[in-house]
């Protein structure tokens, strides 16, 4: 069954990770995912390539996020899909939906926690700050409105395995739910444990959550992750348990050789493509 939404935003933002290859990911996803009806292609300007206040390419990242917020405020979609782009490309949509649904829960399905601030980030890359922004902390030019924030208790990290020291400390202090890669592999249905059925959910899918052996087409390959089938099972469990109101797909690098069926399996689990068995298309 296809997932219904009001708008698709195609956001080729790459400056947040400073890796231009993810811009092509947005266009490739726009081809893989049949349009939900209304599809907006967002243009990303080529701003100054410098570090400001500890954030790389701050000007262009901030202006892109601001432009997205303005569009979302005008259209006020009840359900929205972002085809990114880096891991900042969908933050404005997640904020918008958090403002609309006070009981929104967020699944951050990603090898990384994206919980850095400009002060804690070793790289200064905004794509490692997205979830922290959604929680209401970060550079003032990237932060959204106070009414569009999510409490840490409403966030579940899924498949995270490469956390910076500051992120780990923050996550533990905040008591954030964390389903580690082994748990995703052994019992993907448990990903929704503790969350009330039928509540609205936002799914941030950074495809680097998958083990790069299975899906190498990512900007930040991170070993020791779950295979695509396990991630797809976890995504299907989220879709079955919740009313999914928003999805963001990020950090896909189509220029790296990979099996297209793996991407289709992930997208299919979220109702964004016809579901199919990824293992069937694997080379014998
Ligand atoms: Mn990631």
For ligand 1, the distance from its centroid to the CA atom of residue 53, given in whole angstroms, is: 22
User: What is the per-residue pLDDT for 6?
Assistant: 97
pLDDT value of residue 251: 98
Q: Per-residue pLDDT tens for 82-135?
A: 999 999 999 999 999 999 999 999 999 999 999 999 999 999 999 999 999 999
Which percentage of the chain shows pLDDT scores above 90?
91
Give the distance (Å) from ligand 1 centre to CA of residue 60: 20
Question: pLDDT per residue over 167-217, tens digit each?
Answer: 999 999 999 999 999 999 999 999 999 999 999 999 999 999 999 999 999
Q: Which strand (E) or helix (H) includes residue 66?
A: helix 58-75
Listed in sequence order, the residues at least 6 apart from 23 whose beta carbon sits closer than 8 Å to its beta carbon are: 12, 13, 14, 44, 85
Exposure string (b/e) for 139-158, b if CB count within 10 Å is 16 or more? beebbbeeebbbebebbbbb
85 C-alpha to ligand 1 centroid (Å): 12
Phi, psi of 101 (to 5 degrees): -120, 100
Ligand 1 centroid from CA 147, angstroms:
26
User: 124 CA to middle of ligand 1, Å?
Assistant: 15
Ligand 1 center to 152 CA (angstroms): 18
Q: What pLDDT was estimated at residue 275?
A: 57
pLDDT of residue 146 exceeding 90: no
Q: What is the mean predicted confidence (pLDDT) over 214-239?
A: 98
**Cα-to-centroid distance, 86 and ligand 1 (Å):** 9
Evaluate if residue 284 carries a pLDDT over 70.
Answer: no
Domains of the chain by start residue, with CATH: 7-274 (3.40.800.10)
C-alpha of residue 41 to centroid of ligand 1, in Å: 23
The per-residue pLDDT for range 8-22, each reduced to its tens digit, is 999 999 999 999 999
71 against 275, higher pLDDT: 71
Measured in Å, residue 220 CA sits from the centre of ligand 1 at 6
Distance 131 CA to ligand 1 centre (A): 11
How far, in Å, CA of 255 to CA of 257, rounded?
6
The pLDDT tens digits for 155-169 are 999 999 999 999 999
Give 51 Cα–ligand 1 centroid separation in angstroms.
Answer: 21
Å from CA of 208 to ligand 1 middle = 5
Residue 282 pLDDT grade (very low, low, confident, very high; cuts 50, 70, 90): very low
For residue 276, the model assigns a pLDDT of 58
Expressed in angstroms and rounded, the spacing between residue 110 Cα and the centre of ligand 1 is: 5
Give the tens place of pLDDT for each residue, 26-65. 999 999 999 988 999 999 988 778 999 999 999 999 999 9
């Amino acid at each position: 069954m296809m997932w219904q939404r009001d708008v698709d935003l195609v956001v080729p933002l790459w400056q947040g990770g400073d890796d231009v290859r993810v811009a092509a990911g947005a266009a490739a996803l726009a081809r893989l995912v049949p349009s939900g009806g209304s599809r907006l292609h967002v243009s990303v300007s080529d701003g100054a390539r410098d570090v400001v206040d500890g954030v790389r390419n701050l000007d262009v990242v901030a202006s892109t996020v601001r432009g997205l917020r303005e569009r979302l405020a005008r259209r006020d979609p009840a359900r929205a899909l972002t085809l990114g782009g880096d891991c900042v490309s969908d933050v404005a949509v997640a904020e918008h939906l958090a403002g609309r649904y006070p009981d929104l829960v967020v699944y951050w399905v990603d090898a990384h926690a994206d919980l850095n601030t400009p002060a804690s980030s070793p790289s200064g890359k905004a794509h490692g700050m997205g979830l922290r922004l959604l929680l209401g902390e970060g550079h003032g030019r990237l932060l959204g409105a106070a009414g569009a924030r999510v409490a840490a208790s409403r966030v579940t990290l899924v498949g995270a395995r490469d956390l910076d020291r500051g992120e780990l400390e923050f996550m533990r202090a905040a008591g954030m739910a964390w389903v580690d890669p082994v748990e995703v592999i052994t019992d993907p249905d448990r990903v929704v444990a503790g969350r009330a059925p039928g509540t609205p959910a936002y799914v941030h899918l950074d495809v680097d959550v998958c083990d790069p052996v299975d899906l190498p087409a990512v900007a930040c390959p991170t070993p020791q992750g779950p295979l695509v089938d396990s991630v797809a099972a976890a995504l299907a469990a989220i879709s079955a348990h919740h009313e999914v109101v928003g999805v963001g797909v990020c950090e896909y690098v189509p220029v790296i050789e990979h099996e297209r069926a793996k991407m289709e399996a992930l997208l299919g689990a979220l109702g964004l493509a016809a579901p199919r068995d990824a293992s069937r298309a694997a080379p014998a």
